[in-house]
Structure 1
């Protein structure tokens, strides 16, 4: 999964088709819980582009998007937010896959 590097990149990516932003942080144990299977989730959903957003590096973006818990996911498609899976709760593989299936 590629890391988001700038706000300009974020703005460009939101205009593309089916982009998933995963909001995370190095210190977040629930974020690391999903690391072992996220590669397989990406392989399963090849019609999406996945980008990791470090909450600590993009705190203003997180506030703007109401990301107050991590890990969280937001899907954009052609400039429009299509869905969000945002909470402070630990996410399971099944919950993430179920969320993404809505946009497949």
Structure 2
């Protein structure tokens, strides 16, 4: 989205200048990697054949959700909770120490 826009509307319509980055890219096409996902990528004809000519290769990013078995999930939760409890206890001890020093 352009700066200053959360979305387009009747009072803030899409303008031709909003497409300038697309036009610039069209004149000088190069691969765009954003994070772990491609916004644009070039493929050779043989690569497209291997993909059964599926041209939808740079779609919306789809992060895989890891689903743990219940036992492993509970173990991870308990470990994370113990770590956070330890940090909270340290902060509270520091606060009590500061209060006692006054």
For the superposition of Structure 1 and Structure 2, which TM-score range results when normalised by the shorter chain? under 0.3
**Structure in which a larger fraction of residues adopt strand:** 1
TM-score (normalised: structure 2)? 0.22
**Structure in which a larger fraction of residues adopt helix:** 2
Does 1 or 2 have the higher relative contact order (CA < 8 Å, sep 6+)?
A: 1
TM-score (normalised: structure 1)? 0.22
Rg comparison, structure with higher value: 2
